[in-house]
Structure 1
């Protein structure tokens, strides 16, 4: 029998990486609030009350051909660039408190996260508009800075092998956005995202499946006079626990922009983005002393379909520490 694992004391473990530079995406500056793939396995499962901590290293690579245009920051309002090659590395640091007091019959939690990191971006040319002449040649920018601060509140419920959740998340601008730079780790605007999720987890068989869907509403970027459209996203994951401490599986996402980008800086029109990605994952539960346990997860994603976006691949390494469930904390550490 596989012990039920409640290691997801951070319902927003991956939310930290929303601070990652995503210059290949649609939206202003190629930066969207929601980074697909944030939620993963056991996303909706209630966890042990108390404090939990997480760190996530994320590497993202994005490429688009010279024939593809994007609106970015870089001085002039709504500057259009032709082609891009971007990378980002960030270390997201988050803390979450899970309340022991039921709220609406569920488990309430609140978390906050930020991320220092490095972003690099190169473009083939900058243009005056979608049909304008090139006014400069190739440009590059590289910057080490701090992301926005992201916070999330969530409620989770459990009925045996079924768990559900609702969440709301937003950001507090860190003040490090620079409209005169190509590379930024933060957004330059405020956004809100709300959604709901479901997890099926059978501790006897070790079968697990999770899916979280949400919608994002963005305020105007005052520097670029550009407002991203509303987007819909689904993150999903399926895994098999081969033992109480080891899982393997697959994860994926769907990102679809529902409404047009607007504002004086939206020189490419509606520019609705779409992306579908998939990749493998592996996870390890790490018993620790004093009633705590660690969780290490490694996963990767590759876009298999994109529209109005560059093609991306990403690698995520997550390490979290949370209170161990009673059955795990009272059980002796397995010997090899």
Structure 2
């Protein structure tokens, strides 16, 4: 990472993007899941029915961080705008003591990257997500969801391009999400995930396994509004494997935090918004992001 040739190669690859994903690790510094994507109500699925969620995000980064967390000496700019519709079906069918729920996400991405004077922009469909699991309503305040997501390599990928919207490999992500809700009082949410990545056959590169969590903590004011903080924590737990992997294994890490709000009308419609700043970053870009999520019942 400290040699100029390897630094440029890693920095050009690092702008790979997926699923509105603006938090990067592993191959090229990129990862399947858009860290910090969830906010309040992440573990509290609604009553049986069909729902459409809309995710929108805007990410800006102007620096790359090496294995020590120091700024890599390259001219680097990255901008990612994304809209990702998510379709959720919550059933009344029993599953493992809870109820069956399934979902699909179809991300639409706009990427604009510049590395040492070279630039490229793309607007395309990214990697589609399919998942399912069991929803639990443990009490009026405490809710949980246990499931598995599968990320399919549907997005475009060309190893010779500066940016790609797809990762070009399969990924399986088991997850647990928990929400504690009060109309007036403490609100707390945590979504814990573990990523297992397959090999990218075009590059013969296999990204390491990843442990990460989205979180939100706020105060409900009794009128549908909640305000507090949110963000994510990320740690790559195994080394990358393949050609040109640095001796340190290219393990990424990051922590993000920022203000977060939610409005819930009590009838199935709600919106969340947050701004998060990345810190303690290694082997990936460092930047800031605004995220918005809207839920509409049908």
Band of TM-score, shorter chain: 0.7 to 0.9
Distance 1:113 1:299 in 2: 20
1:7-18 counterparts in 2 under 5 A? Answer: none
Alpha-carbon distance in 1 for matches of 2:111, 2:58: 10
Q: In the alignment, which residue of structure 1 is the partner of 2:289?
A: 314
Counterparts of 1:109 and 1:317, CA distance in 2: 23
- Rounded to whole Å, the distance in 2 between the matches of 1:94 and 1:197 is 17
- 1:58-81 Cα offsets, whole Å, 9 max, x none, are 11112225x859xxxxxxxxxxx9
Q: Output the CA distance in 1 between the equivalents of 2:220 and 2:77.
A: 38
SS at match of 1:19: coil
- The answer to whether the 8 A contact 1:225-1:265 is kept is no
Number of aligned residue pairs: 277
Give 2:102's match in structure 1, choosing from 105, 110, 122: 110
Residues 157-192 of structure 1: CA deviation (Å, up to 9, x unaligned):
122232222121112222522222111122111111
The equivalent residue for 1:326 is none
d(CA) in 1 for partners of 2:161 and 2:49?
A: 41
Q: Which of 249, 253, 264 is the aligned partner of 2:243?
A: 264
Shift of 1:262: 0.5
1:1-336 alignment, distance < 5 Å? 19-22=19-22, 25-64=24-63, 68=66, 82=74, 84-124=76-116, 138-160=117-139, 161-203=141-183, 205-267=184-246, 270-286=249-265, 293-322=268-297
4+ aligned runs moved over 4 Å, structure 1: none
CA drift of 1:242 comes to 1.3
Q: Taking structure 1 as the reference length, what is the TM-score of the superposition?
A: 0.76
CA offset digits 1:219-275 (Å, max 9, x no partner): 111122111101111111112221342221211211001010111253565111110
Cα distance, 1:175–1:202 mapped onto 2, change above 3 Å: closer
Q: Which has the larger radius of gyration?
A: 1
Deviation at 1:297, TM superposition (A): 1.6
Instruction: Give 1:119 deviation, angstroms.
Output: 0.4
Tell me if structure 1 keeps the 8 A contact 2:199–2:206.
yes
Assess if the C-alpha contact under 8 Å between 2:76 and 2:113 holds in 1.
yes
Per the normalisation by structure 2, the TM-score is 0.85
Secondary structure of 1:29's partner? helix
- Hey, what's the Cα distance between the residues in 2 that align with 1:259 and 1:102? 36
Report the RMSD for the aligned CA atoms in angstroms: 2.4
Write the distance in 2 (CA, Å) between the matches of 1:199 and 1:18. 26
Tell me, what secondary structure is at the counterpart of 2:28? helix
Secondary structure of the residue aligned to 2:31 is coil
Contact 2:197–2:209, Cα closer than 8 Å, also in 1: yes
Question: Which deviates more, 53-62 or 160-169?
Answer: 160-169
- Structure 2 stretches of 5 or more lacking a match? 1-16, 68-72
* Alignment partners' CA distance in 1, 2:121 and 2:210: 28
Which digits, 9 at most, give the CA deviation of each residue in 1:123-164, with x for residues without a partner? 12xxxxxxxxxxxxx311111111111112121212223222
Structure 1 residues 107 and 188: alpha-carbon distance in aligned structure 2, compared to 1, 3 A threshold: same
From the superposition, tell whether residues 168 and 95 of structure 1 become closer, same or farther in structure 2 (CA, over 3 Å): same
Q: Aligned partners of 2:24, 2:75: CA distance in 1, in Å?
A: 12
State how far apart, in whole Å, the 2-side matches of 1:114 and 1:34 are.
13
Q: 1:206 to 1:192 in 2, by over 3 A?
A: same
